[in-house]
Amino acid sequence: MPSLLYHGRSRPQGARRLAAAIAAGVMAIAAVLLAPRPAAADTPWLNVSEDGYASFSVPAAYVEANAGQVSQVVIEGNFGPSFAWAEFGLTRRGDVWSGVLGPLKPGLYSYQVTGDDTKGLKDPTNSTSVTSQPLRSTFFVPGDAVRLLADAPQGQGGKVETLTYRTKHEERSAQVWTPPGHAAEGPKAYPVLFLQSGDGGSATDWLDLGRAKQILDNLSLQKAMEPMVVVISDGDGLKDLRKAVADRYRVHRDPAHQAIAGVAEGGTQALRAALTHPGQYAYAGSFSGLLTDGVGRVDANAINRHVKLVRLYTGNVTDPAYNATYRLTKALDRARITYEFDGVNPDAGANWNAWQENLIDFAPRLFRRVSDHGPSAGHGKLKGEFTPPAPGTTPTPFVTEDGFVTFETTTDFAAAERVKVWANWAPNGSWLRIRLSREGDRWRATVGPLDPWFYYYRLMVDRVSVKDASNPTKVTSEPTWSTFLVKGDEARLLTDVPAGQGGKVESMTYRSSVANQDRTALVWTPPGYDPDRAQPYPVFYLQHGGGQSYTDWVEMGRAKQILDHQFLDGDLVPMVVVMGNGNVSDFNKELLQNIVPAARARYNVSDDPSQQALAGLSMGGGQTFGVLKAFPGRFAYVAAFSAGFGSAAGVDAEAINSGTKLLRLYVGDQTDFVYPSFMTSLTTLNNLGIRYEFDGVTPGPHGWDVWQKNLIDLAPRLFKR
């Protein structure tokens, strides 16, 4: 069944009640995570669950006291695709700005709190710090993939100390890591690695953000690297620094025991040093370095003779070093300089998450023989330079086959101060904002790689929501939203079927006695629909949520595409699907006295309760529960997406059980704000003795990523019992 793709195995009825009881216990934990917290100074603003959900609760009083009145509060952090810097918007709930994001991939995250784009705040309840960025704090999500980033057992790692040295013009400092068991005096001399930060960075970034100490500690304890001294600096005054290190530490002075590496501009500097002075360093590593020229004027023979290793690293196409690395490899090939390439990191751009992996790969290759000279596992080839269309030449967004998306504005916002794109590309479909960069009189950014799926977004221009005028898609109920699709196997059910093979979507006008006006529903009929068929078709009434309308299941829910594919795949009983307008004061009356009669008058659909289904999302799910309570048995198939059952008062559980063939319930994970009330609903249903199916949470928030998957799971289950 399709549900296996999203929830795991279906549970039998007996196990379901046990699961619901467990879930009710979990509800208390969820309530703690989601509920607003008091403004006490010692109450953590951030809690991270074992499975990687980050729950933020920022006291409004603290924000106002330190930043003044604000209209919005976001958490800025490396949460975006490829660990890009992004903003996660918080919601004001009483006295607290709060929100839950996740599950986050294992790794190190840095963040700060920002109000109204410009008012930054440090989390005072988080003792971590980033020296070069005083407003930032960090947190670590553990996991097998990042075990080398975890703290080594206490007392077993190396030591970090500050080395002060003098240049011609000023006094400077560097951070020096010495390995476990290092002796300042004795017969043993150590090789040395000079590790540099990027332009505008600080030497401490390698410790605060690069986790260099943890990486070096763990590699040393595993005996995966040679004992060495690692000198971490900002790259300035390197000649004086080398002398200071030699004077202070017992290190080898010969080039064969000297290595240099760095990130971004630090990587460029490392390469230049190795290529232009091959007698100084035997090993060089460029982590997202930007060197592209100057290779043709070097002495290739001297480099190949004296430099034992030149190894290049780059992130994916969001890394500015991607094109630079491609050009550099071509230049090195022409110059016949021997080098190694670690391959393109598909999951990170120019950021510390990538550079941590670079150090993990590079350090074990130093001062020893290594048999493996190829790329890291999972890294790909350079496919040529990444060149999105020239500004103004194509509608946006521009989507590549591998899921990189380039956004570009028109020239209307040339005078704007900040432009962002806000989309459902956080884990499991939550929403993040990513800043665009000014390019002439337009704004641009490339984001990705995005998993194959359906995405929706809007531009935020100086905090005002704006439609992307270059994108012809529309969302009727949300005029500033636009949509796009990243194709792939996982998104197959959301893509258009070949022309002429799918069902039809028609508008059905009906008179609403509740709203006292003519209203519209959208109706999907299956391929080959026969209005004169002797046996009427089953009918499925599918409702939208609050703030939405009858168009949303087609424009945002991709209902037509899902139903078309499932019908052509043979998974769907031929049925008619009616998507009505639920924005009324009395939905029960609207549905039963207006929408249902209009559908029966126009389409060949059954009036047998066993051939009728009703489902809805959020508000529509609550309306569905209302119909189930008031008219048990009127619809044999009932489902609710991200909605609570509500009060048990007056509920006829026996009538519901005898008249309902399927009651199936869905909810997102703890990022879905309905999650706590939904879990309470399971307890209510259990206490009433109502039979239902719940196959576990659908990963994702209160949004279309979840509800599309709910429809994919539900539709093939209808009218088969």
**Span 542-601, pLDDT tens digits:** 999 999 999 999 999 999 999 999 999 999 999 999 999 999 999 999 999 999 999 999
> Do 328 and 303 contact (CB within 8 A), yes or no?
no
Q: Which domain holds residue 85?
A: 38-142
Mean pLDDT of 298-315: 95
Band the pLDDT of 29: cuts 50, 70, 90.
very low
pTM for this entry:
0.90
Residue 41 is predicted with a pLDDT of: 54
Tally of domains within the chain = 4
Amino acid at 140: F
Mean pLDDT of 483-494: 97
**Span 203-213, pLDDT tens digits:** 899 999 999 99
Same domain, 344 and 430: no
Q: Is residue 551 assigned to a domain?
A: yes
Band the pLDDT of 32: cuts 50, 70, 90.
very low
Residue 235 is predicted with a pLDDT of: 76
Rounded CA-CA distance 642/710 in Å is 10
Q: Is residue 242 assigned to a domain?
A: yes
Residue 21 is predicted with a pLDDT of: 35
Residue 298 is predicted with a pLDDT of: 85
Alpha helices in 519-616 (DSSP H): 552-555, 559-568, 587-589, 596-602
Same domain, 699 and 567: yes
Residue 358 is predicted with a pLDDT of: 98
Same domain, 712 and 610: yes
Same domain, 133 and 181: no
Q: Is residue 29 assigned to a domain?
A: no
> Residue 711: left if φ>0, alpha if ψ -120 to 50, beta else—which one?
alpha
Residue 6 is predicted with a pLDDT of: 29
Residue 644 is predicted with a pLDDT of: 96
Same domain, 690 and 623: yes
**Most confident listed range (13-27, 28-42, 331-345):** 331-345
Residue 394 is predicted with a pLDDT of: 82
Computed over every residue of the chain, the mean pLDDT equals 92
Q: Please state the separation of Cα 40 from the chain's center in Å.
A: 31
Query: For residue 234, which phi and psi values (nearest 5 degrees)?
Result: -90, 5
Same domain, 130 and 175: no
Task: Please check the confidence at residue 624 and state whether its pLDDT lies above 90.
Answer: yes
- Three-class DSSP labels, 147-185: HHHCCCCCCCCCEEEEEEEECCCCEEEEEEEECCCCCCC
Task: Please check the confidence at residue 2 and state whether its pLDDT lies above 60.
Answer: no
Same domain, 527 and 602: yes
Band the pLDDT of 532: cuts 50, 70, 90.
very high
Task: Please check the confidence at residue 24 and state whether its pLDDT lies above 70.
Answer: no
Q: Is residue 25 assigned to a domain?
A: no
Q: Among residues 492, 527, 549, which one ends one of the domains? A: 492
Band the pLDDT of 28: cuts 50, 70, 90.
very low
Q: How far is CA 467 from CA 409, 457, 462, 545, in A?
A: 10, 9, 13, 22
Q: Is residue 415 assigned to a domain?
A: yes
Task: Please check the confidence at residue 308 and state whether its pLDDT lies above 60.
Answer: yes
Mean pLDDT of 240-268: 94
**Span 634-690, pLDDT tens digits:** 999 999 999 999 999 999 999 999 999 999 999 999 999 999 999 999 999 999 999
Same domain, 357 and 458: no
Is 562 strand, coil or helix?
helix
Q: Among residues 463, 492, 521, which one ends one of the domains? A: 492
Mean pLDDT of 62-77: 97
Is 492 strand, coil or helix?
helix
**Span 176-209, pLDDT tens digits:** 999 998 887 777 899 999 999 987 778 899 999 9
Same domain, 333 and 302: yes
Mean pLDDT of 44-59: 96
Q: Is residue 194 assigned to a domain?
A: yes
> Do 503 and 527 contact (CB within 8 A), yes or no?
yes
Percent of the chain with pLDDT over 90: 87
Q: Is residue 383 assigned to a domain?
A: no
Q: Is residue 21 assigned to a domain?
A: no
> Do 685 and 540 contact (CB within 8 A), yes or no?
no
Same domain, 699 and 579: yes
What CATH number is associated with residue 326? 3.40.50.1820
Task: Please check the confidence at residue 19 and state whether its pLDDT lies above 60.
Answer: no
**Span 269-285, pLDDT tens digits:** 999 999 998 889 999 99
Residue 102 is predicted with a pLDDT of: 95
